[in-house]
Structure 1
Amino acid sequence: MSAGIATEHLAAQACEAMAERLDAATLRRSPASIAAVTCRGEVVAVRTHGEPRRDGAPTTPGTVFRIASMSKSFLAATALSLRDEGLLDLYAPIENYVPEAAAARFDGRSARITIDMLLSNRSGLAEDNPWGDEHLGESRESIGALVGEGLTLSAAPATEYQYSNVGQSLVGRAIEAVTGRPVEDVIRERMLDPLGLADTRASAGLYPAGADLAHGFRTFDDGESFAPEPYVGTGALGCIGSLFSTVSDIAAWMEFLGSAFDADAGDGVLSAASRRELQTAHTLIAPALSQFTDRELDGAGYGYGLVVEHDRRFGRIVQHAGGLPGFSSHMRWHPATGIGVVVFGNSDQFGAGGIAGAVLHDVLGRIDAPAAVVRPWPQTVAAARRVDELLRAGRTDAWDEMGPLARNVLRDVPGAVRTRRLLAALDETGEPVADAPSFETRVISATDASALRWTVPCRTGVLVCDVRMMGLHTPVVQSIDVQVAGSTGRKPRDESPRVTDHHRVVLG
């Protein structure tokens, strides 16, 4: 279990959070549903509801649901694996691989669109969710003909976020062009099979007879009645929304992706660098959009086949929703802890995204999860220790000994000024106490590996100290700040709350 979280404690908190969020009013919107909290690829708590086919058989943890646009993450990962092998150029014009796409126009003129733009939803192609749902099963020939007639862009390429299913399906056509294989087979061969995701398949017909597949349903009266909704077919747009899966397979997929941020991340099926690239925002998404209004974010963006949120309390959260007539799905995870949530429902009115977002936020809050895990450079720690030793020894004028210093340090604030400010601070806090706890226990936070914050307890108050390094071959100190702590004893007075306040620091 990551971040020092006990499995039993996490499972208990997860069960309570799901019980609160999956109330009767929520559950009534879908004939069947499943929600699971995961950690490091394992399901630690699961809650099932209803009958997936309305035939008397209950939903089980192994019931297969359609995951719709969650499929885009598998498409993007496959594209990057081909890129890594030199078979696909993300920055080449898409018409190099899909000649029909050369007919795209913006403001009456030809438009240069790349795979990078398509994967990150900034190609200029207009949002097309309703249209895409109905055309998922169209033949490659018919969609190719539509593209060849000329797609009309609603924004200049590379300038705005617009969610385009057709655009991402062109990535599938590019994959087929360089491999000579159906994109569904390439995804299976490059991602699903190597990762052991045997329950994740591109169409219902690929499961054996009698498999526990959820059927789709629609409601237009908030769950008072349901009408069966046949599976939308798998065709030219299938690579962006056709997959079916289980919570255990998605738990493993989230861990495969999220573990790329671990200090010991391996490469394996797809390099850690490429997995991080999937989970890094490439296109800004306005936080005012409806999908974010229930959360406090510092920012949000679309990576490659994934949405990246920067939560004001918990830091990076990666997610993607899926919705098709008859189904609602969502996955989201917190790379710092490896904790994730998967929610499936077999009604497009279920609202899996809102449920998953609330459950993950509740669980992370209940366990006081760190926003990130930071491992400072040895030079950062050494510099901080040196500053701490001199301050606690009463060396208020030894700034040139707190090195190695970049030359800007004593030019930005001369030593005499620094001493005067430090003495003023000590007038408030009193002298440092002689029997202070160890340096390690006084470390508070670090924004990244180049910085460290710690406290110096004094007779009548606390000093908050910060060092920041410049990352040369041999890092040097580029700033030193010593300030009086506010009422919490952990932050300088008047400093606003920051997500970095919740970073967990690992020394050594």
Structure 2
Amino acid sequence: MGPGQAMTTESRSPVSTSEAAAVALDAAFDAHNLHMAPAALAAVFDRTGVIAWRAAGEPRRDGSATDRHTVFRIASMSKSFLAATALSLRDEGRLELDRAITDYVPGVRFLLDGRDMSVTLRQLLTNRSGMPEDNAWGDRQLGAPREQIAALASEGFRLTAEPGERYQYSNLGMSLVGRAIEAVTDHPIEQEIATRFLEPLGLVHTRFEASDYPGGGTLAAGFRTFDEGATFADEPFVGSGALACIGGLFSTIDDIAAWAAFLASAFTDEPRRAEVLSAASRQELQRVHTMIPIGAARTHQELDAVGYGMGLVVEHDRRFGHIVQHSGGLPGFSSHMRWHTPTGLGVVVFGNSDEFLAAQLAIRCHAGVLDRIDAPAEVVRPWPEALDFAQRIDRALRADEPLAGLDNVFAENVMRDVPADVRERRLAQALDSLGPIDATQKLLSARIRSSASPADLRWIVECQRGALLCEIRLVGIRRPLVQNLEVSPIEPPPEALRL
């Protein structure tokens, strides 16, 4: 297969996924500065759960080692649970994302150059409300009473852009979605998240309060360093209050792996637990709604695009395609989760220092796993008509029959754009270099190279000294027809001829 696409029938790399995960995890750990946190924990997961994990250090600096079940604060990774809850209520008809937040939370004011502005729930969820970035301030407001934030809201939040205009990451803005959820359910947002997702999905180790972990023996404490990890200072847990819904959760690698698998399964033929949240809504969470400038993403990856979905960041990796992720950072903690939707392979990383840079370790590990198994950027199922037309074109080429004689295959433009006699002449020129087409060929399914979309197909026809690369593209009408056909010689000669 060419890089970037895969047919569902293609066999996997001989390197096992679990082996690739273990090797990539070790390499990422070895390359990372683990001294920046007292404890680190990371895992690679697939659609079934954790398949490899590694831990380092002491989560409380008391002699007890970090293990698979150590609980860390996940900070802004919590936003994915908030957004999922909002869509769950939207699906029930109880929340309308395109209504102004003031319809649910009266008294909130948004000011731009002294003018009152209207901001919708959707704009808040997708970080394009016009509210400026507030990470440093917001981290310390996690435990602020609701009354305190309500008082700020009534005074007015100042905007730096027109609502809907551009990406700006606002914790305060997204917390208002939590207030809207509370208004329509008459329950605390933490309760709604628990009853809608944590409990039905069995995420028993994911909670909002440190006191929910009896004895605290599994909890990683928070620490800060101001001398590159030479010494650490205790960092007490930031409280849970008005902004807890955007960053207050604690969790484990297994729970986050299960949560990611639930979300990623929306892109499969058998989405998990549709009664908890529909596949369509889960896909909506993991789709770009607000473009993030590549420079603002502060990444060293090769990305074609990056944007904010709903409570999740969406990347279009140049090699691996669709990746979903979110980081978490609070005083004392650094976390990151990411997964590749075509394969379901993902990584979660925790460290108990805000200088740990969990995202760097996770990105390195994730890319290592995907590279080792030669993961496709997308799994595409061609239309049945595409496969049928490819079979007919393939048979005609091999039998030296004129392509123009194929009935009900080509749209009328094909033989007008490049006349049949020109196609035949170019094919003859190609075969002069490649030699005759081999009489014995593998099945077409074994010769398919990629499918960029269900309407596209690329395959080879083997020749004595190379191959013909055949490419078709269908037009999306009720009864599709081939609208483009290209047949190019590959190795030798290097130049392609459009036949």
Question: TM-score by structure 2 length?
Answer: 0.93
Partners of 2:430 and 2:497 within 8 A in 1? no
Counterpart in the other structure of 2:71:
64
1:433 and 2:434 are equivalent in the alignment: no
How has the CA–CA distance of structure 1 residues 65 and 415 changed in structure 2, closer, same or farther, with 3 Å as cutoff?
Answer: same
Counterpart in the other structure of 2:36:
29
Match of 2:306 among 300, 316, 319: 300
C-alpha displacement at 1:282, in angstroms?
0.9
Distance 2:490 2:408 in 1: 24
Paired AA for residue 199 in structure 1: H
State percent identity of aligned pairs: 53
C-alpha displacement at 1:404, in angstroms?
3.2
Distance 2:66 2:12 in 1: 29
Counterpart in the other structure of 1:502:
none
1:287 and 2:294 are equivalent in the alignment: yes
Between 245-254 and 309-318, the greater mean CA deviation after superposition = 309-318
C-alpha displacement at 1:437, in angstroms?
1.6
Between 280-289 and 130-139, the greater mean CA deviation after superposition = 280-289
C-alpha displacement at 1:310, in angstroms?
0.9
How has the CA–CA distance of structure 1 residues 115 and 298 changed in structure 2, closer, same or farther, with 3 Å as cutoff?
Answer: same
Match of 2:267 among 261, 278, 281: 261
Between 368-377 and 315-324, the greater mean CA deviation after superposition = 368-377
Partners of 2:13 and 2:374 within 8 A in 1? no
Counterpart in the other structure of 2:220:
214
C-alpha displacement at 1:270, in angstroms?
0.6
- 3-state SS of 1:432 partner: coil
Match of 1:107 among 95, 109, 113: 113
C-alpha displacement at 1:7, in angstroms?
11
Q: Deviation digits for residues 259-314 of structure 1, max 9, x if unmatched?
A: 1111232423111111111111111111223532x211111111111111111111
Q: Deviation digits for residues 481-506 of structure 1, max 9, x if unmatched?
A: 1112257x9x98599xxxxxxxxxxx
Runs of 4+ in 1 over 6 A off after TM superposition: none
User: What are structure 1's unaligned runs of at least 5 residues?
Assistant: 496-508
- Kindly report which structure 2 residues correspond to 1:382-397, keeping only aligned pairs within 5 A, or say none: 382-395=388-401, 397=402
How has the CA–CA distance of structure 1 residues 209 and 269 changed in structure 2, closer, same or farther, with 3 Å as cutoff?
Answer: same
Distance 1:290 1:281 in 2: 14
C-alpha displacement at 1:165, in angstroms?
0.4
Distance 2:193 2:454 in 1: 36
1:47 and 2:82 are equivalent in the alignment: no
How has the CA–CA distance of structure 1 residues 6 and 66 changed in structure 2, closer, same or farther, with 3 Å as cutoff?
Answer: farther
Counterpart in the other structure of 1:227:
233
- Kindly report which structure 2 residues correspond to 1:406-417, keeping only aligned pairs within 5 A, or say none: 406-417=411-422
Counterpart in the other structure of 1:451:
456
How has the CA–CA distance of structure 1 residues 246 and 5 changed in structure 2, closer, same or farther, with 3 Å as cutoff?
Answer: farther
Question: TM-score by structure 1 length?
Answer: 0.92
Which structure's relative contact order is higher, taking Cα pairs within 8 Å and 6+ residues apart?
2
- 3-state SS of 1:209 partner: helix
Between 237-246 and 434-443, the greater mean CA deviation after superposition = 434-443
Q: Deviation digits for residues 120-160 of structure 1, max 9, x if unmatched?
A: 11111101100110111111111111111111111111121
Counterpart in the other structure of 1:189:
195
Partners of 2:205 and 2:252 within 8 A in 1? yes
Match of 1:361 among 361, 367, 370: 367
How has the CA–CA distance of structure 1 residues 7 and 247 changed in structure 2, closer, same or farther, with 3 Å as cutoff?
Answer: farther
How has the CA–CA distance of structure 1 residues 407 and 130 changed in structure 2, closer, same or farther, with 3 Å as cutoff?
Answer: same
Match of 2:85 among 78, 81, 95: 78
Counterpart in the other structure of 1:328:
334
Paired AA for residue 100 in structure 1: G
- Kindly report which structure 2 residues correspond to 1:9-20, keeping only aligned pairs within 5 A, or say none: 9-20=16-27
- Kindly report which structure 2 residues correspond to 1:163-182, keeping only aligned pairs within 5 A, or say none: 163-182=169-188
CA RMSD of aligned residues (A): 2.2
Distance 2:179 2:462 in 1: 63
User: What are structure 2's unaligned runs of at least 5 residues?
Assistant: 1-8
